[in-house]
Amino acid sequence: NAGVTQTPKFQVLKTGQSMTLQCAQDMNHEYMSWYRQDPGMGLRLIHYSVGAGITDQGEVPNGYNVSRSTTEDFPLRLLSAAPSQTSVYFCASSPGQGSYGYTFGSGTRLTVV
């Protein structure tokens, strides 16, 4: 099992560019989430999903879109990158309610210049 795979690991964008961060899991987990981590801080929830076709907003959704067309994939789209979106992005998955906790991907370090 690969677990949770995030690509790319590093990315530099120019202000105004768009891009998609990929997240895939091979554990048949129902729940998936995207978080961002800024220096010296905890993780903040961007968007989350409780199953294919179901997504919802977290604490800091502005500037980001998600979709969940399959159980395995949960891509995060930056619509028009801003320097404030410079951060480390983590994707996580879990089997669902009342079960085991999160498995995290290794993160994507994004710099917007």
Partner 1 sequence: GIQVEQSPPDLILQEGANSTLRCNFSDSVNNLQWFHQNPWGQLINLFYIPSGTKQNGRLSATTVATERYSLLYISSSQTTDSGVYFCAVERVGNFNKFYFGSGTKLNVKP
Query: Nearer Cβ to partner 1, position 14 or 28?
Result: 28
Q: Are 68 and 59 in contact (CB under 8 A)?
A: no
Reported in sequence order, the residue ranges of 1-113 that DSSP labels E, i.e. its strands, are 4-7, 10-13, 19-25, 31-37, 43-51, 54-57, 64-66, 76-78, 87-94, 103-104, 108-112
Query: Nearer Cβ to partner 1, position 70 or 99?
Result: 99
In the bound complex, what is the minimum distance in angstroms from residue 96's beta carbon to partner 1? 8
In the bound complex, what is the minimum distance in angstroms from residue 67's beta carbon to partner 1? 16
Binding site for partner 1 (CB under 8 A): 31, 33, 35, 41-45, 48-50, 56, 58-59, 88, 90, 92, 94, 97, 99-104, 106-107
